[in-house]
Structure 1
Amino acid sequence: MSAPAADEPLEITVTVNGVPRTASAPARRLLSDFLRHDLGLTGTHVGCEHGVCGACTVLVDGEPARACLMFAVTAQAHAVTTVEGVGDDPAAMSPVQRAFAECHALQCGFCTPGFVTTVTAYLQDHPDPSADEAREAISGNLCRCTGYQNIVKAVLRAAELRRAEAGA
């Protein structure tokens, strides 16, 4: 029996935002394209398609990963969290999402999903970052609009909101 051709569709099942999702896609389908086109989760944005800009950042087993550099088939045994999984209800936003809104840490919004997933993961392990640590944490994500000052403020505010929730 021969191996399937690279463009021959496969049934790919990925646990996304806690839900197993299955779609038929070629073995070489990128995770970013699988999420957007095959599963209809358009919150993950595709910017540079080279893993440089961070717009496509999702969490794979809780760790930030560039969805444009990963094949969907390799995600099958892992838990993927997109920005929709961080929070998709405007009435119940995550601390990171609330902080981005409060601190005006977005303008066009294209890079925001990648920042939100990156910061969400970062704050799990670093609940009380300094401004310099926040800058370092977001250094792998590019934004063309904000100048980063408000994004750094949002990271610090999100940490504050998370601490307040944990103490409540």
Structure 2
Amino acid sequence: MNERLRSWRPWLGLAVRLGLAAVWLYAGWSKVDDLAASGRAVHAYQVLPYDVAMVLGAALPLVELALGVLLLVGLATRLVAGVSVALLLVFIAGIVSAWARGLAIDCGCFGVGGELPAGQSPSYLPEILRDLGFLALAGFLLIWPRTAVSADGALTGEPVEDDDE
């Protein structure tokens, strides 16, 4: 690998890690004060039974906050990136499914979602493109999880510059 790129990758990884952490923290924080509304937003996708959607919707903000905190400190980065990839793929599939079935819902990604008022159009394409961008960030961390200034690095004691992953 090019030495110059190799020397910058840990710092680029730090920026990616902190960016994705901010996404998860904002997403979780925007929903954590009304877990029932988060459950209703999951139910609006009409793919899960009501009770399952409510439990999943209530748990989701807590999972998002946990992912954000772990990324913020750089702990278990590859595992968190893998979980992020999986969640983002589920989110994208859910939005595509709602779009394909003609549902008019707000994704609920960054706050209260659910059915949109009559006459209001959903913005599915921008939501999918946004989530694909987040997926790219998570994919970067899945491939190159060792970043500058991380708990992972402090625990292993290995310099990230020697990373050939």
* Higher percent of residues as strand: 1
**Is the pair's TM-score, using the shorter chain for normalization, greater than 0.5?**
no
Higher-RCO chain (CA-CA 8 Å, sequence separation at least 6): 2
Q: Please tell me whether Structure 1 or Structure 2 has the larger radius of gyration of its CA atoms.
A: 2
* Higher percent of residues as helix: 2
The TM-score with structure 2 as length reference comes to 0.30
